[in-house]
Amino acid sequence: MPPRRISDVNYMDVDSDSDVSIVDDDDFGGRNKKGKGKATDKKKKDKGKSKAKEQPYAWEASYTRSWDTVQEDEAGSLQTAVADLMARSRRRRLLAPSGAIRRTIIRHLILILDLSSSMLDRDMRPNRFDLTLEYAREFIVEWFDQNPLGQIGVVGMRSGLGERLGEMSGSPQDVLKSISERHKIEPAGEPSLQNAIEMARSSMSHLPTHSSRELLIIYGSLTTVDPGNIHETLASCIKDKIRVSIVSLAAEMKICREFSDKTGGQFGVAMNEGHYKDLLFELIPPPFLRSTTTTTSSSTKQTTSIPADLMLMGFPTRLPPTSAPALCVCHSALKSEGFLCPRCGAKVCDVPTDCDICGLMIVSSPHLARSYHHLFPVKGYIAVTTLQDSPPPSQNCHACARPFPPPITSTISEGMSPLSRYKCPDCNNDFCTECDVFVHEVVHCCPGCGK
Ligand SMILES: [Zn+2]
Ligand SMILES: [Zn+2]
Ligand SMILES: [Zn+2]
Ligand SMILES: [Zn+2]
């Protein structure tokens, strides 16, 4: 887009000039003679201008940043840098609470996307909008992988209105389809936080109490155009126990911070592309069950822990593709494949879902098992620093049976084992670096003790 590029260059010129003048005011304001100050001022101005021409976009600067973060070691290899990154995630795992935690595994999330004109800003590459769509797709796929019992709906904020882009659905394909047509969700106008939140709230009002109600707002603008008092919306979100998390692409806004603080969500301002993705992906694991509800000062709510609640679930019968075609209750379409509700025998297309006839929650048992690991996480392995003589240490990794590599002599960061051995605190078996990562991020079960 050549016209935009030119206008951006002009904009950058003005910007760099104003920066320089601020610096000059500080440097030469009182002490130096005016003439000298002016000469340097002009020189700096020219320098700023040429710099702006070389680098018209902020994102072009990030190309120089990317290789600053990965440093080669003395031998010119990148191995230590990679090991350091792995050690960082290991330290984070050890900080996380181990043992059984109560989490909401049946989740309902509404993704609210800012589709205002501020999303066309190019401070992220290629622009905020395209990057958001890309990350949203990755987020949805990963979210469903980790939360197979969850459902996602999509709402957009555009021209002062809230737009329902996708109904609440448990199928990743349906959710991805709602944001797949880029030309239909082209950014325009101003966003309205209140309209979008009210729209999301109304579509969550029917949900049962054992499921979580969450909003994730990706917000690029610094303003909101609201028809009423947004604090009333905040109060009703708190009342409905809706957790609002916000990822801002511009800067912190007081109302956004207030929404996430008071509803127990998370708030973050993305500093760059990588940080933006981190902020989003932090919201993928299911949230802790809030144990304290002592927000109201009156005597009504003073419970410290929510009592365990039994819930009804049905495991459906899967129909083979060769079965006789029948109408499904969800779309009234003639299909041979599908699932039968174990209570009323109605045919549904996809699980997990609530039966349209009897209201029973229908889940498949693999989905339930897959959500299980969030409740009982594998304990973090401890980095082994010295080898003890008794009992004699095993020569091979307990999981993959490969021999351990020779000890690393270069610099070791915290949480990293110089012997590349990581010990399970329960079964005391040693594992190699790769297996440690694989166990905690993919398998979610220790091969030594089965926990
Ligand atoms: Zn159907
Ligand atoms: Zn049923
Ligand atoms: Zn191994
Ligand atoms: Zn173990």
For ligand 2, the distance from its centroid to the CA atom of residue 144, given in whole angstroms, is 24
For ligand 1, the distance from its centroid to the CA atom of residue 303, given in whole angstroms, is 41
CA neighbor of 108 nearest in space, from 197, 238, 207, 255: 207
Strand partners, 157: 114, 162
Q: Measured between alpha carbons, how far is 51 from 77 in angstroms, rounded to an integer?
A: 33
For ligand 3, the distance from its centroid to the CA atom of residue 278, given in whole angstroms, is 27
Lookup: tokens for 274: 């990588």
Condensed to tens digits (0 to 9), the pLDDT of residues 260-316 reads 999 999 999 998 888 999 999 989 988 877 554 444 444 444 444 566 677 788 999
pTM: 0.68
For ligand 1, the distance from its centroid to the CA atom of residue 332, given in whole angstroms, is 6
Tell me which H or E stretch contains 156.
strand 151-158
Q: Work out whether strand 212-219 and strand 242-248 pair parallel, antiparallel, or are unpaired.
A: parallel
Q: Please list the residue range(s) of the chain that carry CATH number 3.30.40.10.
A: 79-99+377-451
For the stretch 259-271, what's the b/e string if a residue is b when 16 or more beta carbons lie within 10 angstroms of its beta carbon? bbeebbbbbbbbe
For ligand 3, the distance from its centroid to the CA atom of residue 445, given in whole angstroms, is 14
Q: Evaluate whether 340 touches 333 at the Cβ level (below 8 Å).
A: no
Tell me which H or E stretch contains 28.
helix 2-28
Q: Which ligand is nearest to the CA of 351?
A: 1
For ligand 2, the distance from its centroid to the CA atom of residue 348, given in whole angstroms, is 9
For ligand 4, the distance from its centroid to the CA atom of residue 428, given in whole angstroms, is 7
For ligand 1, the distance from its centroid to the CA atom of residue 350, given in whole angstroms, is 7
**Secondary-structure class of domain 103-281 per CATH:** alpha beta
pLDDT tens over the chain, length 451 residues = 444 444 444 444 444 444 434 433 444 434 444 444 444 444 444 444 444 445 556 555 555 555 555 666 666 666 666 777 777 776 666 666 555 567 777 889 999 999 999 999 888 878 999 999 999 999 999 999 888 888 899 999 999 999 999 988 888 888 999 999 889 999 999 999 999 999 999 988 877 777 889 999 999 999 999 999 999 999 999 999 899 999 999 999 999 999 999 999 999 999 888 899 999 998 998 887 755 444 444 444 444 456 667 778 899 999 998 989 999 888 888 988 899 999 999 998 888 888 888 988 888 888 887 777 777 788 888 888 887 766 778 889 999 999 988 887 766 667 778 888 888 988 889 999 889 888 888 888 888 888 7
**CA 375 to each of CA 86, 145, 315, 435: distance values in angstroms, whole numbers, following the listed order:** 24, 16, 21, 21
Q: Please list the residue range(s) of the chain that carry CATH number 3.40.50.410.
A: 103-281
Domain 79-99+377-451 has CATH 3.30.40.10: yes
Helix (H, G, I), strand (E, B) or coil at 261: helix
Q: Measured between alpha carbons, how far is 13 from 18 in angstroms, rounded to an integer?
A: 9
For ligand 3, the distance from its centroid to the CA atom of residue 272, given in whole angstroms, is 35
For ligand 1, the distance from its centroid to the CA atom of residue 329, given in whole angstroms, is 6
